Structure 1
Amino acid sequence: MISRRNIRVKVMQTLYTIDSMSGEVKPGEPLTILNKKLEASRGLFTYLVFFITEVARYSETDARQRASKNLPTAEDLAVNTKIAGNEVLWKIVETPGFSAAVADFKLKHIIDTELLKKIYLQLAASEEYKEYISVQARDKKSEKDILEFIYRTLLLPNEDFIAHVEEHFINWDDDAEMMEQLVAGYLQKPAGYDFGPILSKEKLDFAKNLLQTTIEKAEVTLELIKPKLKNWDADRIAALDLIILQMGVCEFLFFETIPTKVTINEYIDLAKEYSTVQSGQFVNGLLDNIHKELTQQDKIHKKSHKNSSL
């Protein structure tokens, strides 16, 4: 579910964490840090889906509470609970991996019931919801659309909800854009993910190899980078820029299925988004220069691969 770009971000963050640590890095520690970051993303993804399902299922809670009033009105006794039986919702809820992930991350203890109720009431008052419940029949598109409406319209723009997520998931800022894509994609095809490891074996191998190669080949990459710094000392440039450059050079030399153009573009984007204002241009110039040199020396050998641009 996570793209190679997302993986590069996690590896970059892991390398930066290691660079910021005092003392000697223990064997296996980098991989442990990377796995924790991936698990944090899995927990966040699971929670977002869990919250969506809880908003939808709150219609039954609302109906029960209103019906139990001392003097319920006709309106209280006629709360429409169609959404609680949403077919996509139940595909999610009945996925064994979903309930296991909810339990593993203790998500039921995190949820804010007052916020949940508030968002459900916003849903119930919306024209989209009224249109949804006005049709007795069910169809796949409307079942998916109403859940996506909850996510895109009621959750993502909601400052209270975002503050709530940020309080419990420190990775929200880094993962927000990725999560928007992942959750929307999942709601369209809920059968495509079982809430286990967030990376396939192939992509996990890529993440591990990129991390380990960047660490193991640090001296090799620095030998290529330092002469291109001109008046810059390697110790004076932004630590994150240096990490990005080293990752890029590793992909040039040791990842034969990734086209160099893809590598350069990806790391320019990461530099722009995560480092300084000048970093995008800086990384662009350095990687392009190193790429030309390695090409002239016939040190870059790539082969076609159908997934190389992922």
Structure 2
Amino acid sequence: MISRRNIRVKVMQSLYALEAYAENPSGVQKELTTDLPALEKNGIKVLVEKIQRSSDLFALMLLYVSKVAQFSETSARQRASKYLPTQEDLEVNTKIAGNTFLWELLGNTTFLEKVKEDKLERFIDEEWVKKLYQSLIASEAYREYTAEQSRNTAAEKAIMQHIWRTEMLENEDFQEYVGDEWSGWEDDKEMVVMLIDNYFRSSKNVNFLQFISAEKREYAYSLLKTVLQKEEHLMELIRPKLKNWDAERVALIDMILLKMGLSELLYFPTIPTKVTINEYIEIAKNYSTPQSGQFVNGVLDNLLKELLNENKIRKIERTK
């Protein structure tokens, strides 16, 4: 489910966290290689936690979507139980509670197990479910959906996407609430949005309990460990390429991305060099400064040319 780019981002975030942890109370930066085994252990722990958090957020946001749709039945019961209900109170449209896309999600046993195992229900704020529902029923998209008597696959999916995209993602107050409740939401948001968009495109056979495959988990661990283990050698290669740049002044994320990219070029023979460079350019653009994409591209490209000339790049075609 999670892509290699997602994994690279999580490794980058974990290495960034380790750099922050490396500072002692006086603010003096310690050498990351002082205790390599402990550092690797801490790095893997941070990485696992970050992947788990992304997995939880992915499922939680879909759980919110489902709760908002299902709230129509709660609203109908509450309004019908008024002491003097109006005719409108007695005729609340609950079509969305039977939404076929919704029930496909709720029929996914791995989704239900994920929600139960990680106790995601405890993160649902019922007041926010109600607010999101009230915003939903006031929308033109909802009026058009309920006005149509029949059900069709496109419309069923579209109204659920509307809840996600418009009522949740574009609601600044809700986004602020999620950010307050989940530290680092902004770091995970782009990935979660991509995962949910992918889910809407193809929801069949999605396994919420297999957020990351064994192969990709091994890649993530190996990439993180390689950057830590080869730190000194990587910097020996990178420093000469920082013309007109003080290595200490290069943005921390940029330096981490350079070390990750160089690690892939040297020590991951099945990953094509073009893929590596393109991936780190995009990550730099999204997560660092406006100039970072061009900077990372220039340095990695120079490193690649030099390493190719010295016959130090060994790539093999991946077997299927």
**How does the TM-score come out when normalised to structure 1?**
0.91
Which stretch has the larger CA shift, 269-278 or 49-58? 269-278
Corresponding residue for residue 226 of structure 1: 239
Give runs of aligned pairs for residues 83-122 of structure 1, distance below 5 A. 83-122=96-135
Deviations 1:40-64 (A, max 9, x none): 1011111100000000000000100
Could you tell me how far 1:87 is from its partner in structure 2?
1.6
DSSP-derived class of the 1:190 partner: coil
Deviations 1:262-283 (A, max 9, x none): 2112222222332334433332
1:212 aligns to 2:212 (yes or no): no
Which stretch has the larger CA shift, 50-59 or 294-303? 294-303
Matched residue type, 1:135: E
Deviations 1:126-179 (A, max 9, x none): 222222222332222221111011111111100111012112222321122222
Matched residue type, 2:260: M
Could you tell me how far 1:232 is from its partner in structure 2?
4.2
DSSP-derived class of the 1:258 partner: coil
Matched residue type, 1:196: L
Alpha-carbon RMSD across the aligned residues, in angstroms, is: 2.0
Which stretch has the larger CA shift, 94-103 or 32-41? 94-103
Could you tell me how far 1:38 is from its partner in structure 2?
0.2
DSSP-derived class of the 2:247 partner: coil
Deviations 1:182-232 (A, max 9, x none): 112213332332221421222222211211121122222122112223454
Which of 40, 47, 51 in structure 1 is aligned with 2:53? 40
C-alpha separation in 2, matches of 1:186 and 1:86:
16
Which stretch has the larger CA shift, 88-97 or 105-114? 105-114
1:132 aligns to 2:114 (yes or no): no
Matched residue type, 2:180: E
DSSP-derived class of the 1:137 partner: coil
Percent identity between the aligned chains?
49
Extract unaligned runs of 5+ from structure 1: none
Which stretch has the larger CA shift, 139-148 or 21-30? 21-30
Extract unaligned runs of 5+ from structure 2: 23-29
| Cα distance change, pair 174–61 in 1 and its aligned pair in 2 (3 A) | same
The answer as to whether partners of 1:186 and 1:192 remain within 8 angstroms in 2 is: no
Corresponding residue for residue 20 of structure 2: 20
Corresponding residue for residue 2 of structure 1: 2
C-alpha separation in 2, matches of 1:293 and 1:157:
47
**How many residue pairs align between the two structures?**
307
Could you tell me how far 1:79 is from its partner in structure 2?
1.0
Which stretch has the larger CA shift, 148-157 or 162-171? 162-171
| Cα distance change, pair 122–192 in 1 and its aligned pair in 2 (3 A) | same
Corresponding residue for residue 172 of structure 1: 185
